[in-house]
Amino acid sequence: AQTVTQSQPEMSVQEAETVTLSCTYDTSESDYYLFWYKQPPSRQMILVIRQEAYKQQNATENRFSVNFQKAAKSFSLKISDSQLGDAAMYFCAYRSAISGTYKYIFGTGTRLKVLA
């Protein structure tokens, strides 16, 4: 069975600095999708970034980028120029691409604090 592990329950970063949140996963599948979601105190889940496993190029969205290492089964999120509004819980998620399945597995989350 697939698993997603976020080994950092909490991280802190100074405003304007860079922080990296780690995520590892375990799967025997070759095709899948990976996501990072942000959950601010409002509780609303918001997509940060998405990566397709068959694409070697790392996804980027403005200040957010990922380091996708398929062989190592690692999917870390880098936040550059951290802002106070980045403070939130961040969840890594795995989604199988196998037709007929709907496995969507979330990690336990990393709480990011941004220090002014």
Q: Which residue has the tokens 């062989």?
A: 71
Question: Residue 98 and residue 72: Cα distance in Å, rounded?
Answer: 21
Amino acid sitting at position 97: A
79 vs 94, beta carbon nearer another protein: 94
16 binds another protein (CB under 8 A): no
- Between 32 and 51, how does the x/- string for binding to another protein read (CB under 8 A)? -x-x------xxxxxx--x-
Interaction pattern, residues 90-109, with another protein; x per rule: CB under 8 A: -x-x-xxx----x-xxxxxx
Backbone angles phi and psi of 43, in degrees to 5: 85, -10
Quote the CA–CA distance of 42 and 60 in Å, as a whole number.
25
- 79 vs 107 by CB, closer to another protein: 107
- Is residue 64 involved in binding another protein (CB under 8 A)? no
